[in-house]
Amino acid sequence: MRCPYCSSLDTQVKDSRPTDDHASIRRRRVCPDCGGRFTTFERVQLRELTVVKRSGRRTPFDRDKLEISIAHALRKRPVTPERIERMVNGIVRQLESSGEAEIQSSTVGELVMEGLKGLDDVAYVRFASVYKNFREAKDFEELLGQLGTIDEEGISAPPPRADD
pLDDT tens string 125-140: 888 877 777 677 776 6
Q: For the chain, what is the radius of gyration of the CA atoms? A: 21
Do strands 149-150 and 50-52 pair parallel, antiparallel, or not at all (unpaired)? unpaired
Domain ranges for the chain: 12-42, 50-146
* pTM over 0.75, yes/no: no
Q: What is the C-alpha to C-alpha distance for residues 24 and 3, in angstroms, rounded to an integer?
A: 20
pLDDT tens string 47-90: 688 999 989 999 999 989 999 999 999 999 998 888 988 899 89
Angle between helices 105-119 and 121-131 (to 10 degrees): 160
Secondary structure tally for the chain: helices H, strands E = 5, 8
Q: If you count them, how many residues does the chain have?
A: 164
